[in-house]
């Protein structure tokens, strides 16, 4: 690690002021950041630790209107254990939190940290390689190299995948995120946190220098909502997903009246698939329907040399998640 | 048999060897006449009534390890100690063209800089060591490493075995296309066989992944060097270091290695390595203690591995399912040296005609293999046992029936039958998966063997036993316990022989100032040291008996040491009271490892394992749901440690079967998953229900009769799992690890 200035703010205003200084990074639990700093992949001059702000930034609040606000510094373990997420409507988020990493990591890792974590691409995350990501080299090395864990959808010049478990589950719930930048507080749709054009040159997120995510808000879900999150991985203990899928179904009298479907771990950003979700609306659940939805979710896929298996696996996960949702098995 | 030697044991004593029936099987006992050497206790045999040996004692150093009191090389620290690190080559092949260390030496906090290669030297793989630096902190050293000016002349490299020189041509399904070399007898036998089969099998490179990385702390005192090292060969590395240092013109007095606690080795830690030499050189140059431990990437890429293998078999059976012909060729996945990739195969399946077994190693520009837990065996057994299951399926024979038909070993015949009953083989094997079932279940089995009855080399290995007047006992060996339970074995044997309370015995291992012992390799340590430990305790006991006999006024021949009491009839002293007779100078004796008796019950160790899997045919994910193993290791000394060896081997087998593989970037020659993030090792949530049965055998080859155990249980596990996957899918996955992409491909090929 290179020496750096370490800021322990007492208030959000202090953090916000420090965050605007050049060559400054924000640290939640540091699960991802500290690794990168140790490996000198990132060598900031200043690190602002947001954990001291847990009173302002961590916690889960259910409002009178039924919306749920999750502080950015809330740990994954808190999501996993909080009663608010025991309902079928929010169970997908709880599963996504509970299947992340290991119990030790979940006790520490924060919601915002999970959403903003850096890609796990083995070319991008090594100082030995100079790839297109971040403008370090002329080409994407994974595209023509070893790419079994890389993107099959929505990639352009860089085939990294977005590793967050929470992102698909939160996007399926139509979450908002709130930030502060200086003294300005803004709330936007969560999908705006991720670049619309996820090229190699673009960062993993759309935050401006100094902008701090303070909370995530989930709107009240209609009666009959069920959310399910599922993923494929090579092992159960502490592994990253090879494909992931979150769905939200609203069921009334055995008919699906509304649906959202979001894929994870298969594209440079968490990927909503509205065309696939649309097929569900107005239909009664059936295996045939779910198979068709799965095909549509992966329509237009461009697998690489070593990851075509992700299409078969990914579609199976979509079907599995839909089957579970339709049977009320969150 | 009496605890005491016969008047003249050179006439020979009769002992009973063999084993009590495994449940449902028969007793297998035989008589032997052996000739114990003078000064050695009479051998334990099948009739010996043990007090401590074979019981469920807890690991003697378990609490020290769990509480952090145990100090590994990594934990050793001294005031003013420096930190060292290595500069590694970034290219896979070429030459060092220029090297300047001046700027690095001048960096703040840097105390020593040593070149490990000279300009013009070859660079052989990514990670080849170029130079070493020591400084006041890891950060200072890292800064200085960035200031080393090293230039390279890169040559074209290759890290892909498929295109290595001498590699066979493969078809689109990964099957060898090259014709078999001519072999008339085999071809004639195959021509007459009722059923024949051929197949190509492949495994990937597995790294040792010891939790404690290589390295240690070097501290000079004048010309004497003390080195706290993470090693599995204390005496081997002592000599290696002394020679290497002298080769660099350094005057070396006594080198003492300390390895009291070692965080795993699995075969990768027999040498001091370039990191050990660099650490000693830096400490010498700086005249301060230096700690140099590798990081995880260096550990994965520069300290050896289990080589991958490409294996092809063809064979045939007659109408009764008996093997009539066997042809085999294998290609080992070695590193730059082109050596160390050998593959071992079972030799106990009876084959009517002379089998052919050919092997050659392929070289690529990577770190070479090192021995890894049963070198060559898990890969070879995977190839052979899966091939045999495919052949049996073609011939319409159950895999168990096929083994019983062809396996020549009586011990394993008993193990097959007992294990199958215990595992519920017949019922599980009869389970039919519905044609459209998403989850498919299957069971498989595989055999294991090993051959280790102790290293009897000269000069003889030994052990020191000291009994103090406060009742405490030291049992010491300079050999090392790399985590397998040697110290527990030492304590149990000593307590048994002395009749002392187990808690009174302190087992100390890992300092070369103590008597010599073997490297922790070949499952050698326990069978090599057990008789020496027992003899040391026995000699201490003889002295204590004399003191007690004199004190009690009874004939020494009547005095017995058992259950914490010493004496005879009503004249008994508790252990602690008896030890007070010793006085201030302890009983201090050495035991020696004598040669084995001539005819052991059995020269090799047998095992059999059974596995059940559940495969998600949608996602291709395999879960191992349960495993059972039966394993012989001669006399079981510490039951819990022995079982841990077997269960641990099964866990490693699950990991090898499903997860572990080195993934190389072809362009750079660099390992891509040189961490614990993408180098996947099985974890707690992936583990099946694991059970084992220790098949204790009175082998009668020395005074104890312990055989090797570290390696044998790791031979069968991956093969049994691969066979279970074959049973579940109805199509084999012939390439380890069995990852989802390969399962889906196997399912697709079955449909097509």
Among candidate residues A218, A245, A262, the one where a domain is terminated? A218
Q: Does residue A210 lie in a domain region?
A: yes
Interface test with A, best of B740, B746, B748 (most A CBs within 10 A): B740
Output phi, psi for B678, to 5 deg.
Answer: -105, -15
CB-nearest to A237 from B618, B686, B741 is B686
The tokens describing B466, both together, are 């000291």
Tell me which chain B residue has its CA closest to the CA of residue A129.
Answer: B668
List chain B residues with CB under 8 Å of A40.
142
The tokens describing A35, both together, are 């690794």
Q: Does residue A293 lie in a domain region?
A: yes
**A141 contacts A129 by C-beta, under 8 angstroms:** yes
Closest CA to A233 of A172, A319, A163: A163
Give the DSSP H or E segment for B390. Answer: helix B377-395
Q: Does the CB of B677 have a partner CB in chain A at under 8 Å?
A: yes
Residues in A lying within 8 Å of B, measured between beta carbons: 1-3, 40, 120, 122-123, 126, 128-129, 141, 145-146, 148-149, 232-240, 242, 306, 309, 312-313, 316-317, 319-320
Cα–Cα distance between B480 and B61 in angstroms, integer? 13
Q: Does residue A304 lie in a domain region?
A: yes
- The angle formed by the CA atoms of residues B608, B332 and B372, to the nearest 5 degrees, is 55
- Pairing relation of β-strands A271-272 and B215-221? unpaired
The tokens describing B354, both together, are 């002379």
pLDDT in tens, A119-146: 999 999 999 999 999 889 999 999 999 9
* Co-location of A172 and A242 in the same domain: no
> Does the distance separating the beta carbons of A242 and B684 come in below 8 Å?
no
Among candidate residues A218, A234, A262, the one where a domain is terminated? A218
Three-class SS state of B5: coil
**A19 contacts A210 by C-beta, under 8 angstroms:** yes
**B331 contacts B168 by C-beta, under 8 angstroms:** yes
Q: Does residue A5 lie in a domain region?
A: no
Q: Write down the mean pLDDT value for chain B.
A: 96
Cα–Cα distance between B692 and B643 in angstroms, integer? 7
Q: Does residue A287 lie in a domain region?
A: yes
Q: What is the DSSP string of B80-142?
A: T-EEEEEEE-SSSSEEEEEEE-HHHHTSTTEEEEEESS-TT-EE-STT-EEEEEEESSHHHHH
Chain centroid, CA A72 distance in Å: 13
> Does the distance separating the beta carbons of A236 and B744 come in below 8 Å?
no
Cα–Cα distance between B15 and B46 in angstroms, integer? 8
- Tokens 């054009």 belong to A197
CB-nearest to B90 from A128, A240, A319 is A128
List chain B residues with CB under 8 Å of A145.
665-667
* Co-location of A97 and A177 in the same domain: yes
Q: What integer pLDDT is reported at residue B6 of this predicted model? A: 45
Give the DSSP H or E segment for B46. Answer: none
* Co-location of A285 and A312 in the same domain: yes
CB-nearest to B739 from A146, A234, A236 is A234
* Co-location of A204 and A62 in the same domain: yes
Q: What integer pLDDT is reported at residue B460 of this predicted model? A: 84
For A101, A107, A166, A238, B89, the CA distances from A104, given in Å and listed in that order, are 8, 5, 17, 10, 35
Cα–Cα distance between B188 and B457 in angstroms, integer? 45
> Does the distance separating the beta carbons of B740 and A232 come in below 8 Å?
yes
Interface test with B, best of A312, A317, A324 (most B CBs within 10 A): A312
What does DSSP assign to residue B271?
A: S
Domain around A70:
55-116+161-218
List chain B residues with CB under 8 Å of A1.
139
Per-residue three-class SS string for B704-733: CCECCCCCHHHCCHHHHHHHHHHHHHCCCC
Among candidate residues A191, A218, A245, the one where a domain is terminated? A218
Q: Does residue A288 lie in a domain region?
A: yes
**A266 contacts A153 by C-beta, under 8 angstroms:** yes
The CATH number given to whatever domain includes residue A278 is 3.30.390.50
Q: What integer pLDDT is reported at residue B1 of this predicted model? A: 39
The CATH number given to whatever domain includes residue A110 is 3.30.465.10
Q: Does residue A269 lie in a domain region?
A: yes
Tell me which chain B residue has its CA closest to the CA of residue A239.
Answer: B677
Q: Mind telling me how many Å the CA of A145 is from chain B's nearest CA?
A: 7
**A131 contacts A142 by C-beta, under 8 angstroms:** yes
* Co-location of A243 and A208 in the same domain: no
* Co-location of A96 and A238 in the same domain: no
* Length of chain B as a residue count: 752
Q: Please state whether the predicted TM-score (pTM) of the whole model is above 0.95.
A: yes
Burial class (CB in 10 A: 0-12, 13-18, 19+), B405: middle
User: Please, which residues 609-628 of chain B have a Cβ atom closer than 8 Å to chain A?
Assistant: 616, 618-621
Sequence-separated (6 or more) residues with CB below 8 Å from residue B30: B16, B17, B18, B601
Interface size, chain A vs chain B, as Cβ–Cβ contacts under 8 Å? 81
Q: Mind telling me how many Å the CA of A225 is from chain B's nearest CA?
A: 26
For B309, B318, B343, B387, B501, the CA distances from B374, given in Å and listed in that order, are 14, 32, 10, 20, 35
Output phi, psi for B340, to 5 deg.
Answer: 95, 10
The tokens describing A151, both together, are 């993107």
Q: Does the CB of B666 have a partner CB in chain A at under 8 Å?
A: yes
Tell me which chain A residue has its CA closest to the CA of residue B741.
Answer: A309
Q: Does residue A213 lie in a domain region?
A: yes
* Co-location of A197 and A64 in the same domain: yes
A89-98, A248-257, B2-11, B59-68: lowest mean pLDDT where?
A: B2-11
Q: Mind telling me how many Å the CA of B165 is from chain A's nearest CA?
A: 22
Interface test with B, best of A104, A146, A321 (most B CBs within 10 A): A146
List chain A residues with CB under 8 Å of B685.
235-237
In chain A, the number of structural domains is 2
* Co-location of A81 and A204 in the same domain: yes
Q: What integer pLDDT is reported at residue B8 of this predicted model? A: 57
* Co-location of A83 and A213 in the same domain: yes
Q: Mind telling me how many Å the CA of B665 is from chain A's nearest CA?
A: 6
Q: Mind telling me how many Å the CA of A190 is from chain B's nearest CA?
A: 28
Q: Mind telling me how many Å the CA of A52 is from chain B's nearest CA?
A: 27
Q: What integer pLDDT is reported at residue B10 of this predicted model? A: 63
Neighbours of B562 (CB within 10 A): 15
pLDDT in tens, B101-126: 999 999 999 999 999 999 999 999 99
Cα dihedral sign for B297, B298, B299, B304? positive
pLDDT in tens, A153-171: 999 999 999 999 999 999 9
Output phi, psi for B448, to 5 deg.
Answer: -150, 150
Cα dihedral sign for B354, B355, B356, B360? negative
* Co-location of A244 and A294 in the same domain: yes
Q: What integer pLDDT is reported at residue B2 of this predicted model? A: 42
> Does the distance separating the beta carbons of A319 and B618 come in below 8 Å?
yes
For chain B, domains (ranges, CATH) are: 37-63+455-592 (3.30.365.10), 73-156+214-293 (3.90.1170.50), 184-206+306-330+347-452+602-751 (3.30.365.10)
Tell me which chain B residue has its CA closest to the CA of residue A243.
Answer: B619
pLDDT in tens, A26-67: 999 999 999 999 989 999 999 999 999 999 999 999 999 999
* Co-location of A188 and A278 in the same domain: no
Tell me which chain A residue has its CA closest to the CA of residue B743.
Answer: A309
Cα dihedral sign for B61, B66, B69, B71? positive
Low-confidence ranges of chain B (pLDDT < 70): 1-10, 457-458
Q: What are the CB-based long-range contacts (under 8 Å, 24+) for A130-135?
A: A131/A158, A131/A200, A132/A157, A132/A158, A132/A200, A132/A201, A133/A158, A133/A160, A133/A200, A134/A200, A134/A201, A135/A200, A135/A201
> Does the distance separating the beta carbons of B663 and A319 come in below 8 Å?
no
User: What is the strand order of the sheet B255-258 is part of?
Assistant: B110-115, B129-135, B82-88, B290-293, B215-221, B224-229, B255-258
* Co-location of A100 and A207 in the same domain: yes
For B231, B252, B507, B703, the CA distances from B234, given in Å and listed in that order, are 6, 17, 17, 26
Closest CA to B638 of B518, B732, B477, B526: B526
Q: Is the pLDDT confidence value at A82 over 50? A: yes
**A246 contacts B635 by C-beta, under 8 angstroms:** no
Q: What is the DSSP string of B409-434?
A: -HHHHHHHHHHHHHHTHHHHHH----
List chain B residues with CB under 8 Å of A238.
683
């Amino acid at each position: 690690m290179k020496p750096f200035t370490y800021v322990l703010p007492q208030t959000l205003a202090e953090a916000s002021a420090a965050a605007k200084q050049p060559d400054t990074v924000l640290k939640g639990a540091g699960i991802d950041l500290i690794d990168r700093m140790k490996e000198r992949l990132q060598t900031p001059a200043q690190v602002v630790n947001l954990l001291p702000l847990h009173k302002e930034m961590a916690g889960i609040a259910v409002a009178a209107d039924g919306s749920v606000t999750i502080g950015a510094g809330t740990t994954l373990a808190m999501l996993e254990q909080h009663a608010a997420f025991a309902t079928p409507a929010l169970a997908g988020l709880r599963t996504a939190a509970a299947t992340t990493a290991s119990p030790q990591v979940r006790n520490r890792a924060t919601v915002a940290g999970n959403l903003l974590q850096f890609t796990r691409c083995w070319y991008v995350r090594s100082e030995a390689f100079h790839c297109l990501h971040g403008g370090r080299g002329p080409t994407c090395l994974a595209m023509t190299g070893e790419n079994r864990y890389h993107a099959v959808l929505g990639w352009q010049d860089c085939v990294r995948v977005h590793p967050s478990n929470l992102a698909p589950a939160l996007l399926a719930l139509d979450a908002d995120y709130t930030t502060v930048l200086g003294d300005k507080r803004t709330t936007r749709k969560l999908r705006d946190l991720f670049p619309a054009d996820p090229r190699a040159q673009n960062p993993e997120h759309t935050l401006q220098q100094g902008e701090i995510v303070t909370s995530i808000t989930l709107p009240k879900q209609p009666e009959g909502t069920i959310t399910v999150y599922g993923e494929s991985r090579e092992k159960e203990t502490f592994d990253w997903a090879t494909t992931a899928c979150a769905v939200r179904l609203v069921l009334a009298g055995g008919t699906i009246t509304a649906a959202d479907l979001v894929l994870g771990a298969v594209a440079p950003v968490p990927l909503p698939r509205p065309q696939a979700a649309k097929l569900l609306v107005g239909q009664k659940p059936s295996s045939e329907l779910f198979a068709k939805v799965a095909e549509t979710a992966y329509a237009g896929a461009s697998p690489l040399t070593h990851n075509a298996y992700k299409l078969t696996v990914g579609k199976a996960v979509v079907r599995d998640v839909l089957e579970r949702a339709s049977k009320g098995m969150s | 048999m009496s605890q005491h030697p016969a008047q003249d044991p050179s006439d020979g004593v009769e002992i009973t060897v063999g084993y009590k029936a495994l449940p449902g099987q028969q007793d297998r006992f035989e008589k032997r006449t052996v000739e114990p050497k003078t000064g050695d206790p009479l051998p334990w045999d099948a009739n010996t009534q043990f007090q401590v040996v074979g019981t469920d004692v807890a690991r003697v150093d378990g609490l020290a390890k769990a509480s952090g009191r145990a100090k590994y090389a990594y934990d050793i620290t001294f005031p003013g100690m420096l930190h060292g690190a290595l500069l590694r080559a970034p290219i896979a092949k070429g030459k060092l063209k220029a090297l300047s260390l001046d700027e690095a030496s001048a960096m703040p906090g840097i105390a020593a800089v040593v070149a490990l290669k000279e300009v013009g030297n070859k660079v052989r793989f990514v990670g080849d060591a170029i130079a070493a630096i020591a400084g006041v902190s890891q950060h200072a050293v890292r800064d200085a490493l960035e200031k080393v000016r090293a230039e390279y002349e890169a040559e074209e490299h290759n890290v892909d075995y498929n295109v290595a020189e001498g590699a066979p041509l493969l078809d689109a399904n990964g099957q060898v296309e090259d014709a078999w070399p001519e072999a008339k007898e085999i071809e004639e036998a195959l021509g007459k066989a009722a059923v024949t089969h051929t197949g190509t099998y492949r495994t990937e490179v597995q790294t040792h992944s010891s939790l404690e990385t290589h390295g240690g702390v070097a501290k000079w005192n004048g010309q004497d060097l003390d080195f706290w090292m993470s090693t599995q060969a204390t005496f081997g590395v002592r000599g290696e270091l002394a020679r290497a240092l002298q080769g660099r013109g350094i005057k070396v007095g006594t080198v003492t290695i300390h390895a009291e606690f070692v965080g795993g080795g699995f075969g990768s830690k027999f040498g001091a390595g370039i990191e050990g030499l660099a650490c000693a050189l830096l400490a010498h140059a700086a005249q301060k203690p230096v700690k140099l431990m590798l990081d995880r990437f260096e550990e994965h890429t520069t300290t050896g591995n289990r080589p991958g293998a490409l294996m092809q078999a063809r064979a045939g059976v007659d109408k009764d399912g008996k093997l009539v012909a066997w042809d085999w060729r294998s290609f080992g996945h070695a590193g730059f040296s082109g050596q160390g990739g050998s593959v071992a195969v079972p030799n106990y399946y009876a084959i009517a005609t002379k089998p052919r077994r050919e092997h050659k190693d392929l070289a690529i520009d990577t770190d070479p293999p090192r021995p890894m837990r049963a070198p060559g065996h898990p890969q070879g057994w995977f190839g052979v046992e899966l091939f045999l299951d495919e052949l049996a399926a073609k011939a319409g024979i159950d895999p168990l029936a096929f083994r019983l038909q062809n396996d020549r070993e009586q011990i394993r015949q008993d193990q097959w039958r007992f294990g199958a009953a215990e595992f519920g083989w017949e019922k599980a094997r009869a389970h039919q998966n519905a044609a459209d079932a998403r989850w498919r279940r299957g069971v498989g089995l595989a055999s294991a063997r090993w051959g280790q009855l102790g290293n009897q080399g000269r000069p003889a290995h030994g052990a020191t036993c000291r009994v103090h007047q406060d009742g405490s006992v030291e049992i010491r060996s300079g050999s090392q316990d790399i985590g397998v339970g040697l110290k527990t074995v030492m304590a149990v044997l000593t307590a048994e022989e002395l009749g002392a309370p187990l808690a009174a015995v302190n087992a100390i291992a890992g300092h070369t100032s103590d008597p010599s012992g073997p490297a922790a390799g070949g499952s050698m340590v326990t069978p090599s040291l057990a008789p020496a430990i027992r003899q040391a305790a026995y000699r201490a006991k003889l002295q204590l008996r004399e003191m007690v006999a004199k004190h009690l006024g009874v004939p020494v021949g009547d005095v017995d040491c058992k259950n914490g009491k010493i004496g005879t009839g009503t004249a008994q002293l508790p252990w602690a009271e008896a030890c007070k007779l010793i006085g201030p100078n302890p009983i201090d004796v050495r035991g020696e490892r004598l040669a084995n008796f001539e005819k052991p019950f059995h020269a090799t160790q047998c095992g059999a394992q059974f596995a059940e899997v559940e495969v998600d045919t949608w996602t291709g994910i395999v879960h191992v749901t349960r495993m059972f193993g039966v394993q012989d290791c001669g006399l079981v000394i510490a039951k819990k440690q022995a079982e841990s060896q077997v269960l641990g081997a099964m866990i490693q087998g699950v990991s090898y079967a499903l997860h572990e593989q080195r993934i190389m970037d072809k362009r750079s020659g660099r390992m891509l998953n040189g961490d614990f993030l993408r180098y996947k090792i099985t974890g707690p949530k992936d583990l099946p229900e694991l059970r084992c049965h220790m098949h204790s055998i009175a082998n009668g080859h020395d005074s104890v009769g312990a055989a090797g155990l570290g390696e044998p249980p790791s031979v069968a596990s991956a093969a049994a799992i691969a066979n279970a996957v074959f049973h579940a899918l109805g199509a084999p996955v012939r390439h380890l690890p069995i990852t989802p992409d390969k399962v889906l491909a196997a399912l697709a090929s079955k449909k097509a």
